[in-house]
Amino acid sequence: MKQRLLARGVLVCVGLFVAACAKIDDKAMALVATSPDAILLVNGQLLFGALQIRIDHTGTLSVEQPLPAVQDPGKKPVAVASAEPMPARFSCAGRFRYTATTAGSIDLHCNDGTALELNVAMITQTQGYGYGQSATGTVSLSFGLDPQSAKAYLIVPAGKRLQDLPKAPYFELY
């Protein structure tokens, strides 16, 4: 009886130790991860954020619509402030994983219900692009690239274009 209790106690301790190590490992991985800027064009919306890439060749993509800006003549654009709560901005998130030396995939889910898989091509360890298909058309992604290079990989919907801006986010969809 005492041996069973001792064995159960040891198993519980080992289980807690393994769980604690896993949490520490996740935090350590995040510390040595890189997070290049990411731009996603999905459902006719341009989203901005980052793709966190960890050393174990996994990661997470997190992108959202930029805050709307109000243009005041002679002044810089400022974020809209309102006493009413703003509706949730369109956003997407997904899990990234390498599938080959220079390729990967992202399991993407958006807050409008869109779900798809993006096939990613790595240009370098922190730069790349990806494409997928949603119910409304082609989805395109670029990450780790300067704005002009990123534009070259984004597939703009018919009848729209990317308009250059002087500063971040550097362009918008018209």
Domain check: are 53 and 130 in the same one?
yes
Asked if residue 22 has pLDDT above 50, the reply is no
pLDDT of residue 5: 58
Asked if residue 4 has pLDDT above 80, the reply is no
Q: Give pTM, 2 decimals.
A: 0.74
Which structural domain, as residue segments, surrounds residue 149?
A: 34-173
- In this predicted model, what pLDDT tens digit does every residue of 91-129 receive, in sequence order? 999 999 999 999 999 999 999 999 999 999 999 999 999
Domain check: are 27 and 55 in the same one?
no
pLDDT classification of 90: cutoffs 50, 70, 90? very high
Asked if residue 54 has pLDDT above 90, the reply is yes
- Please state, rounded to an integer, the average pLDDT across all residues of the chain: 82
In sequence order, which residues have a C-beta less than 8 Å from that of residue 57 and are 6 or more positions away?
97, 98, 104
The total of structural domains in the chain comes to 2
- In this predicted model, what pLDDT tens digit does every residue of 135-157 receive, in sequence order? 989 999 999 999 889 999 999 99
Domain check: are 94 and 166 in the same one?
yes
**Closest to 150 measured CA to CA, from 174, 125, 130:** 130
Domain check: are 113 and 41 in the same one?
yes
Cβ count near 140 (within 10 Å):
19
Asked if residue 29 has pLDDT above 70, the reply is no
Which residue type is seen at 105?
S
